[in-house]
Amino acid sequence: MSLSAKDKETVKAFWAKVSGRAGDIGSDAVARMLTVYPQTKTYFSHWKDLSPGSAPVRKHGGIVVASITDAVNKIDDLAGSLLTLSELHAFTLRVDPANFKILAQNILVVLATMFPVDFTPEVHMALDKFLAALARALSEKYR
Amino acid sequence: MVKWTELERSTVKAIWEKIDIDEVGPQIWARVLIVYPWTERYFGSFGDLFTITAILKNDKVAAHGKVVLKALDKAVNNMDNMKRTYADLSQLHFQKLEVDPDSFRLLADCITITIACKLKSALSPQSQAIWQKFLYAVVDAMSSQYR
ipTM score assigned to the predicted complex: 0.87
pTM, two decimals, is 0.92
pLDDT per position as a tens digit, B64-123: 999 999 999 999 999 999 999 999 999 999 999 999 999 999 999 999 999 999 999 999
- In chain A, the percentage of residues whose pLDDT exceeds 90 is 97
pLDDT per position as a tens digit, A4-39: 999 999 999 999 999 999 999 999 999 999 999 999
Using a CB-CB distance cutoff of 8 angstroms, which residues of chain B are in contact with residue A114?
120-121
> What is the spatial distance between Cα A97 and Cα A135, in angstroms, rounded to a whole number?
8
A102 touches chain B (CB under 8 A): no
A90 touches chain B (CB under 8 A): no
A122 touches chain B (CB under 8 A): yes
Closest CB from A34, A105, A125 relative to B35: A125
DSSP A89: I
What type of residue sits at position B23? E
> What is the spatial distance between Cα A12 and Cα B50, in angstroms, rounded to a whole number?
25
Count CB neighbours of A69 within 10 A.
17
